[in-house]
Amino acid sequence: MDLLTFARGPALQWSVAIFFLGVLWRLFGVFLLRRKKDYSKPRSTHLWRGAIKGLIVHLWPYKEFRPKVVQSYILGYIFHIGLAIVVFFFVPHILFIKNIIGVGWGGLPNSFIYITGAVTIAALVAMLVKRIANPVTRLLSNFDDYFSWFVTIAPVVTGLMAAAHWGGRYEHVLAVHILSFELLLVWFPFSKLMHTFFFVVSRGTTGALFERRGTSA
Amino acid sequence: MNDINTEHPLDLESKRVSVQKPEKRYDMQGEMPDDKRVQTAMRNFVRDFGYIAATYMESCIHCGACAHACHFHEASGDPRHTPIWKLEPFKQAYKREAGPLAFFYKALNLKHKVTVEELQEWQELIYDTCTMCGRCTLICPMSIDIATLVGMARHGMFQAGLVPHELWAVAERAEREGSPLGATPKVFEDRIEWMGDEHDVEMHVDEDKADVLVTMSSIEIQKYPESMAAMAKVLNHMGLSWTFRTDGYEATNFGMLSGNSAWQKDMSMKMINAAIACGAKLLILPECGHAYGALRWSGANMYGKPLPFEVKHISEFLAEGLQSGQIKVNKVDRSVTYHDPCQVSRRGGATEAPRVVLGALGADLREMKGAGLMNWCCGGGGGVLTIHRADDLRHKMFRIKMEQIEATGAEDVLTACSNCRQNFDDNQEYHHWDKTAHSLLDLVADNLAE
């Protein structure tokens, strides 16, 4: 079996399986924990409204905090949206997904995808530099932060290399690209990348708590 | 050379005699092998772990934004004072002992075991440099309620005997005597009588039946006793049936602040039982921040079911009385600014009430930047004011508050927390400032219309 067949075959099946099982395990590991009943008299019982409000309000920093954090928010949005565009709107990716699940959708022009990929890489590099340069984030950072960064940027870099037919035989580079994405899938459930799901739960939980207490947010 | 000398050698080289590395002083209570101390701390931290706390533990992306919201970090510039870093050993304990991947972390030894030395270092971070003001939650892109997690970490630290001595001592005294600052039932009764005579106001103590049970903070009883007279004046003015009770008067809860849940419950249950005993429909909490959180939001959970009476902060009670016309006041011709006690406003939700009160008094309210939700904590809450080791940073931090207040140009500063007031008084003296914070209740009581 050559590398590309391996990447498209057993490696893909295993990594997808680990991804789904891992994510479910970690989510349910938290969801199934004890929920204590709160007997205090609530100011408001529209907890769902508070949860949704919490989700929306925190899309952008409060005015008071903007000077300190708005740069990180902008960089964060650039690479998150960039990743979503590259992953879900590159025509070969859509065909790849359609092959597996049978559903496809319209893609974006290749040149647009390449530029988006390059911008995403730039934003990710800037985030890494900020992380290392700032004494606070440098102190907070551990292996998870750096490795998660690596497995996020690697598929974008190898993808651009494959598209540019650069860095060796196309089949090899493509295989490395697919394997790098599979590494992301395998690492995902064990890492901070789980915030993809947890941010909804966490913001919603606090939003509901604020609503219950009547804290104006 | 005695023990103290070897632990804290004197520095004879500097201009003034001082102790070398005073920051290396860690307090411990009780005898316990190191291993057991760590185990106890971690077990008691994860013991209360439910779905909410676990969600927060799982969500942090190490972005460091919380540092900018924290007055301790803003004053010291020390990255260790980043709010989420204050939980680092506890995050490790969670991942290793309680999280969904605990088996994995343990089997592969991916998170090292927390050591007693680390916990000693973290004593400063968990107690001296967090007022649990909750401002960091607002900047956090994941809205992590770090203040609550710090409260849980304190549960572990208390059981492991790793509490700063002053805080431990006042908590222990509160449990033993019923009040942390020596306001025993006898002292309380004497001081009520004194204030009644001094201000010529009718007092009600230990009534068998009353609609309203009034509680006080020991800081008021001992340091600002006029608050008891003010409370009585307002309630008499409204013609309500009310009482103080010597079996349930102390509203501060050092059990909660120090991290002893059993003591927290004892302290809350005294007030709850007293209110039930006199058939009160309403329990009024005094001008104290954490007392509000302790009874308004945690009291029923200590009781194990909904409370059979209403619980209101004094500012809420005054606002309602003024709105309904039960309280009539003369106009106050002063410009004022209002300092929000974190536990009442940001974490308690009673943000509007004091504004209603000041509006009814006709005062010229000049709000600080970020008043209400975003208000900067004065730096004295969460037990920090009791810890002497924390004084330097607390004084430094207070400059943020002074600048905020000066910028409003208001003549007077008002607040509804006696702990904040005590911190303002202390800082006024330290900084030779011409202002301090005054009581909202006193202002109302002094301006009642006959």
Summarize pLDDT for A171-190 with one digit per residue, the tens.
999 999 999 999 999 999 99
Verify whether the Cβ–Cβ distance B142 to A203 is below 8 Å.
yes
Hey, what CATH topology would domain B167-320 get? Rossmann fold (3.40.50)
- Cβ-based contacts of B348 with chain A (< 8 Å): 213, 215
Return per-residue pLDDT of chain A as tens, 217 residues.
799 999 999 999 999 999 999 999 999 999 998 888 999 999 999 999 999 999 999 999 999 999 999 999 999 999 999 999 999 999 999 999 999 899 999 999 999 999 999 999 999 999 999 999 999 999 999 999 999 999 999 999 999 999 999 999 999 999 999 999 999 999 999 999 999 999 999 999 999 999 999 986 5
Verify whether the Cβ–Cβ distance A65 to B138 is below 8 Å.
yes
Tokens of A187: 């690492």
Q: Does A50 touch chain B (CB under 8 A)?
A: no
Q: Does the pLDDT of residue B3 top 50, yes or no?
A: no
What is the distance between the alpha carbons of residues A21 and A125, in angstroms, rounded to a whole number?
A: 31
Query: Reduced to 3 states, what is the DSSP secondary structure of residue A72?
Result: helix
Count residue pairs from A and B with Cβ separation < 8 A: 159
Looking at the domain covering B34-163, what would its CATH class be? mainly alpha
- pLDDT of amino acid A22: 96
In a domain, A125, yes or no: yes
List the one residue out of B101, B96, B126, B123 whose CA is nearest residue B112.
Answer: B96
When CB atoms are compared, the residue of B300, B369, B370 closest to A40 is B300
In a domain, A22, yes or no: no
Q: How far is B139 from chain A (nearest CA, A)?
A: 7
Name the residue of chain B whose CA is nearest to A137's CA. Answer: B64
When CB atoms are compared, the residue of B100, B306, B370 closest to A29 is B100
Q: Does the pLDDT of residue B182 top 50, yes or no?
A: yes
Tell whether A68 and A82 lie within a shared domain.
Answer: yes
Tell whether A112 and A167 lie within a shared domain.
Answer: no
List the one residue out of B318, B320, B286 whose CA is nearest residue B420.
Answer: B286
Interface confidence (ipTM) of the complex: 0.94
Verify whether the Cβ–Cβ distance A26 to B65 is below 8 Å.
no
Residues 6+ apart with CB under 8 A from B346: A215, B133, B134, B135, B138, B340, B372, B373, B374, B375
Higher-scoring residue by pLDDT: B111, A54: A54
Tokens of B51: 């779905």
The three-state (H, E, C) secondary structure of B273-332, written as one string? HHHHHCCCCEEEECCCHHHHHHHHHCHHHHHCCCCCCEEEEHHHHHHHHHHHCCCCECCC
Tell whether A191 and A204 lie within a shared domain.
Answer: yes
Name the residue of chain B whose CA is nearest to A136's CA. Answer: B79
Tokens of B45: 């931290």
Q: Quick one: average pLDDT of B133-144? A: 97
Verify whether the Cβ–Cβ distance B101 to A199 is below 8 Å.
no
In a domain, A150, yes or no: yes
In a domain, A28, yes or no: no
- Cβ-based contacts of B373 with chain A (< 8 Å): 215-217
Q: Does the pLDDT of residue B292 top 80, yes or no?
A: yes
Tell whether A126 and A177 lie within a shared domain.
Answer: no
- Cβ-based contacts of A205 with chain B (< 8 Å): 52, 55-56, 143
Query: Reduced to 3 states, what is the DSSP secondary structure of residue B92?
Result: helix
- pLDDT of amino acid A45: 94
- Cβ-based contacts of A199 with chain B (< 8 Å): 59, 141-142
Q: Which domain holds residue A150?
A: 144-210
Q: Quick one: average pLDDT of B58-77? A: 97
What band does B98 get if pLDDT is binned at 50, 70 and 90? confident
In a domain, A48, yes or no: no
Percentage of residues in chain B having pLDDT higher than 70: 94
Return the minimum-mean-pLDDT range out of A60-74, B84-98, B376-390: B84-98
Q: How far is A212 from chain B (nearest CA, A)?
A: 9
- pLDDT of amino acid B25: 66
In a domain, A34, yes or no: no
Q: How far is A34 from chain B (nearest CA, A)?
A: 5
When CB atoms are compared, the residue of A73, A136, A209 closest to B64 is A136
**Which residue of A24, A188, A205 to mutate against B (max B Cβ within 10 Å)?**
A205
Tell whether A81 and A114 lie within a shared domain.
Answer: yes
- pLDDT of amino acid B288: 97
- pLDDT of amino acid B1: 36
Neighbouring C-beta atoms of residue A100, cutoff 10 Å: 9
- Cβ-based contacts of B62 with chain A (< 8 Å): 137, 140-142, 145, 192
What band does B107 get if pLDDT is binned at 50, 70 and 90? confident
Q: Quick one: average pLDDT of B221-237? A: 97
Q: Does the pLDDT of residue B233 top 60, yes or no?
A: yes
Q: Does A132 touch chain B (CB under 8 A)?
A: no
- pLDDT of amino acid B6: 53
Q: Does the pLDDT of residue B4 top 60, yes or no?
A: no
Verify whether the Cβ–Cβ distance B300 to A139 is below 8 Å.
no
Tell whether A74 and A94 lie within a shared domain.
Answer: yes
Query: Reduced to 3 states, what is the DSSP secondary structure of residue B239?
Result: coil
Question: pTM here?
Answer: 0.92
- Cβ-based contacts of B356 with chain A (< 8 Å): none
What is the distance between the alpha carbons of residues A108 and A86, in angstroms, rounded to a whole number?
A: 9
- Cβ-based contacts of A206 with chain B (< 8 Å): 137, 143-145
> Could you give the number of structural domains in chain A?
2
Domain limit, last residue, from A120, A141, A162: A141
- pLDDT of amino acid A97: 94
Verify whether the Cβ–Cβ distance A215 to B351 is below 8 Å.
yes
Return the minimum-mean-pLDDT range out of A74-78, B27-31, B204-208, B376-380: B27-31
Percentage of residues in chain B having pLDDT higher than 90: 78
What is the distance between the alpha carbons of residues B89 and B74, in angstroms, rounded to a whole number?
A: 23
- Cβ-based contacts of A207 with chain B (< 8 Å): 143
Which stretches of A58-194 are DSSP H helices? 66-89, 91-101, 110-133, 135-140, 143-163, 170-187
List the one residue out of A134, A178, A205, A66 whose CA is nearest residue B79.
Answer: A134
- Cβ-based contacts of B101 with chain A (< 8 Å): 25-26, 29, 190
What band does B81 get if pLDDT is binned at 50, 70 and 90? very high
Q: How far is A20 from chain B (nearest CA, A)?
A: 15
Name the residue of chain A whose CA is nearest to B51's CA. Answer: A33
Tell whether A135 and A173 lie within a shared domain.
Answer: no
- pLDDT of amino acid B442: 98
Neighbouring C-beta atoms of residue B334, cutoff 10 Å: 14
Domain limit, last residue, from A112, A141, A170: A141
**Which residue of A36, A197, A206, A212 to mutate against B (max B Cβ within 10 Å)?**
A206
List the one residue out of B365, B287, B359, B352 whose CA is nearest residue B329.
Answer: B359
- pLDDT of amino acid B7: 52
Verify whether the Cβ–Cβ distance B65 to A68 is below 8 Å.
yes
Tell whether A111 and A173 lie within a shared domain.
Answer: no
Domain limit, last residue, from A88, A120, A141: A141
- pLDDT of amino acid B12: 56
